[in-house]
Amino acid sequence: MQSSDRVLASRYGKALFLAASAKDEESRVQADLLGATRAILDVMPVLRHPRVLADEKKKKLSGALGGKVSPVTMRFLNLLIDKKRFDLLPAVIAVLGKLIAEKNNTAKAVVRTARPLSAEVQNKLKQGLKEFSGKNVELDVKEDPELIGGLVVRLGDWVLDSSLRGQLRKLRETINGN
Protein backbone atom coordinates (compact mmCIF):
# COMPACT_ATOMS: atom_id res chain seq x y z
CA MET A 1 0.00 0.00 0.00
CA GLN A 2 1.34 3.42 -0.95
CA SER A 3 1.79 6.11 1.68
CA SER A 4 -0.92 8.23 0.02
CA ASP A 5 -3.35 5.32 0.44
CA ARG A 6 -2.41 5.05 4.12
CA VAL A 7 -3.12 8.76 4.57
CA LEU A 8 -6.48 8.39 2.84
CA ALA A 9 -7.36 5.30 4.90
CA SER A 10 -6.50 7.23 8.05
CA ARG A 11 -8.78 10.09 7.02
CA TYR A 12 -11.64 7.77 6.13
CA GLY A 13 -11.13 5.82 9.37
CA LYS A 14 -11.22 9.00 11.47
CA ALA A 15 -14.32 10.23 9.67
CA LEU A 16 -16.06 6.91 10.20
CA PHE A 17 -15.05 6.92 13.86
CA LEU A 18 -16.52 10.39 14.33
CA ALA A 19 -19.75 9.43 12.55
CA ALA A 20 -20.08 6.26 14.62
CA SER A 21 -19.21 8.12 17.84
CA ALA A 22 -21.95 10.65 17.19
CA LYS A 23 -24.46 7.79 17.35
CA ASP A 24 -22.49 5.87 20.02
CA GLU A 25 -22.12 2.89 17.65
CA GLU A 26 -18.34 2.51 17.38
CA SER A 27 -18.26 -1.13 18.41
CA ARG A 28 -21.23 -2.04 16.24
CA VAL A 29 -19.73 -0.37 13.18
CA GLN A 30 -16.44 -2.17 13.77
CA ALA A 31 -18.24 -5.51 14.10
CA ASP A 32 -20.34 -4.70 11.02
CA LEU A 33 -17.25 -4.00 8.93
CA LEU A 34 -15.49 -7.16 10.07
CA GLY A 35 -18.59 -9.21 9.28
CA ALA A 36 -19.14 -7.40 6.00
CA THR A 37 -15.67 -8.25 4.74
CA ARG A 38 -16.50 -11.94 5.14
CA ALA A 39 -19.98 -11.57 3.64
CA ILE A 40 -18.84 -9.74 0.50
CA LEU A 41 -15.98 -12.03 -0.50
CA ASP A 42 -18.05 -13.44 -3.37
CA VAL A 43 -18.85 -10.00 -4.82
CA MET A 44 -15.47 -8.43 -4.13
CA PRO A 45 -14.25 -8.73 -7.77
CA VAL A 46 -17.32 -6.76 -8.90
CA LEU A 47 -16.84 -4.13 -6.19
CA ARG A 48 -13.22 -3.59 -7.19
CA HIS A 49 -13.72 -3.63 -10.96
CA PRO A 50 -13.29 -0.13 -12.41
CA ARG A 51 -15.76 -0.58 -15.28
CA VAL A 52 -18.71 -1.66 -13.17
CA LEU A 53 -21.01 1.29 -12.47
CA ALA A 54 -21.36 2.54 -8.90
CA ASP A 55 -25.11 1.82 -8.85
CA GLU A 56 -24.48 -1.81 -9.84
CA LYS A 57 -21.81 -2.11 -7.14
CA LYS A 58 -24.20 -0.71 -4.54
CA LYS A 59 -26.87 -3.21 -5.55
CA LYS A 60 -24.42 -6.10 -5.24
CA LEU A 61 -23.23 -4.80 -1.88
CA SER A 62 -26.76 -4.36 -0.59
CA GLY A 63 -27.67 -7.84 -1.78
CA ALA A 64 -24.64 -9.41 -0.12
CA LEU A 65 -25.20 -7.66 3.21
CA GLY A 66 -28.99 -7.91 3.17
CA GLY A 67 -29.64 -5.30 5.85
CA LYS A 68 -27.31 -6.97 8.34
CA VAL A 69 -25.31 -3.79 8.98
CA SER A 70 -26.16 -0.47 10.58
CA PRO A 71 -27.14 2.53 8.44
CA VAL A 72 -23.85 4.25 9.35
CA THR A 73 -21.88 1.28 8.05
CA MET A 74 -23.92 1.01 4.87
CA ARG A 75 -23.56 4.74 4.13
CA PHE A 76 -19.82 4.45 4.65
CA LEU A 77 -19.48 1.45 2.33
CA ASN A 78 -21.53 3.28 -0.30
CA LEU A 79 -19.26 6.31 0.11
CA LEU A 80 -16.21 4.14 -0.55
CA ILE A 81 -17.89 2.92 -3.74
CA ASP A 82 -18.80 6.47 -4.83
CA LYS A 83 -15.25 7.71 -4.23
CA LYS A 84 -13.71 4.61 -5.87
CA ARG A 85 -11.81 3.79 -2.67
CA PHE A 86 -13.22 0.37 -1.81
CA ASP A 87 -9.70 -1.09 -1.83
CA LEU A 88 -8.96 0.95 1.30
CA LEU A 89 -11.48 -0.99 3.39
CA PRO A 90 -8.98 -3.26 5.23
CA ALA A 91 -6.77 -0.29 6.15
CA VAL A 92 -9.81 1.74 7.27
CA ILE A 93 -10.90 -1.13 9.53
CA ALA A 94 -7.42 -1.18 11.11
CA VAL A 95 -7.50 2.60 11.72
CA LEU A 96 -10.98 2.35 13.20
CA GLY A 97 -9.84 -0.41 15.55
CA LYS A 98 -6.94 1.71 16.79
CA LEU A 99 -9.17 4.71 17.39
CA ILE A 100 -11.69 2.62 19.32
CA ALA A 101 -8.91 1.10 21.41
CA GLU A 102 -7.57 4.59 22.18
CA LYS A 103 -11.01 5.77 23.22
CA ASN A 104 -11.48 2.74 25.48
CA ASN A 105 -7.93 3.07 26.85
CA THR A 106 -7.05 -0.45 25.77
CA ALA A 107 -4.03 -1.92 24.08
CA LYS A 108 -3.47 -5.27 22.43
CA ALA A 109 -0.39 -7.25 23.37
CA VAL A 110 0.74 -10.05 21.08
CA VAL A 111 2.50 -12.73 23.12
CA ARG A 112 4.48 -15.50 21.45
CA THR A 113 5.40 -18.34 23.75
CA ALA A 114 7.13 -21.68 23.34
CA ARG A 115 4.53 -23.50 25.45
CA PRO A 116 0.95 -22.73 26.49
CA LEU A 117 0.54 -20.22 29.32
CA SER A 118 -1.70 -21.04 32.26
CA ALA A 119 -4.56 -18.70 33.11
CA GLU A 120 -2.69 -17.57 36.22
CA VAL A 121 0.43 -16.63 34.25
CA GLN A 122 -1.68 -14.83 31.64
CA ASN A 123 -3.40 -12.81 34.38
CA LYS A 124 -0.05 -11.86 35.95
CA LEU A 125 1.33 -10.88 32.55
CA LYS A 126 -1.79 -8.84 31.78
CA GLN A 127 -1.56 -7.06 35.14
CA GLY A 128 2.16 -6.29 34.67
CA LEU A 129 1.54 -4.91 31.19
CA LYS A 130 -1.36 -2.84 32.50
CA GLU A 131 0.93 -1.29 35.12
CA PHE A 132 3.63 -0.72 32.51
CA SER A 133 1.39 0.86 29.86
CA GLY A 134 -1.32 2.43 31.99
CA LYS A 135 -3.94 0.86 29.74
CA ASN A 136 -6.20 -2.14 29.90
CA VAL A 137 -4.44 -4.90 28.01
CA GLU A 138 -5.90 -7.62 25.83
CA LEU A 139 -3.59 -10.57 25.28
CA ASP A 140 -3.30 -12.41 21.99
CA VAL A 141 -1.28 -15.50 22.95
CA LYS A 142 0.25 -17.60 20.18
CA GLU A 143 2.45 -20.66 20.49
CA ASP A 144 5.77 -20.59 18.66
CA PRO A 145 7.93 -23.67 19.33
CA GLU A 146 10.89 -22.02 17.55
CA LEU A 147 11.38 -19.81 20.62
CA ILE A 148 12.66 -22.89 22.51
CA GLY A 149 11.66 -21.33 25.84
CA GLY A 150 10.44 -18.02 27.31
CA LEU A 151 8.26 -15.53 25.51
CA VAL A 152 8.19 -12.47 23.29
CA VAL A 153 5.73 -9.66 24.06
CA ARG A 154 4.82 -6.93 21.56
CA LEU A 155 2.77 -4.04 22.91
CA GLY A 156 2.49 -1.30 20.32
CA ASP A 157 6.05 -0.35 19.34
CA TRP A 158 7.56 -1.88 22.47
CA VAL A 159 9.00 -5.43 22.32
CA LEU A 160 10.25 -7.59 25.17
CA ASP A 161 12.19 -10.64 24.00
CA SER A 162 12.89 -12.96 26.90
CA SER A 163 12.93 -16.08 24.77
CA LEU A 164 15.79 -18.53 24.85
CA ARG A 165 16.19 -18.04 21.10
CA GLY A 166 16.54 -14.27 21.62
CA GLN A 167 19.06 -14.77 24.43
CA LEU A 168 21.13 -17.08 22.22
CA ARG A 169 21.05 -14.51 19.41
CA LYS A 170 22.28 -11.78 21.78
CA LEU A 171 25.04 -14.06 23.04
CA ARG A 172 26.14 -14.82 19.46
CA GLU A 173 26.21 -11.10 18.65
CA THR A 174 28.29 -10.42 21.73
CA ILE A 175 30.77 -13.16 20.87
CA ASN A 176 31.03 -11.99 17.25
CA GLY A 177 31.56 -8.43 18.41
CA ASN A 178 28.52 -6.98 16.65
Give me the pLDDT at residue 178, please: 63
More confident call, 2 vs 53? 53
Rounded Cα distance between 99 and 77, Å, is 19
Q: Is 56 left (phi over 0), alpha (psi -120 to 50) or beta?
A: alpha
Structure pTM?
0.74
The single-letter DSSP state of residue 140 is: E
Q: Are residues 90 and 70 both part of a single domain?
A: yes
Give me the pLDDT at residue 72, please: 93
Q: Are residues 9 and 81 both part of a single domain?
A: yes
CATH number for the domain that contains residue 34: 1.10.520.20
Q: Are residues 154 and 171 both part of a single domain?
A: yes
**Mean per-residue pLDDT, 158-166:** 85
List the domain range (segments joined by +) for residue 125: 105-176
Q: Are residues 113 and 158 both part of a single domain?
A: yes
Average pLDDT over the chain, rounded to an integer: 90
- Reported as a single tens digit per residue, the pLDDT across 105-120 is 999 999 999 889 999 9
Q: Are residues 168 and 94 both part of a single domain?
A: no
Give me the pLDDT at residue 42, please: 84
Q: Are residues 22 and 87 both part of a single domain?
A: yes
Q: Are residues 79 and 157 both part of a single domain?
A: no
**Where a domain ends, among 53, 76, 102?**
102
Q: Are residues 97 and 148 both part of a single domain?
A: no
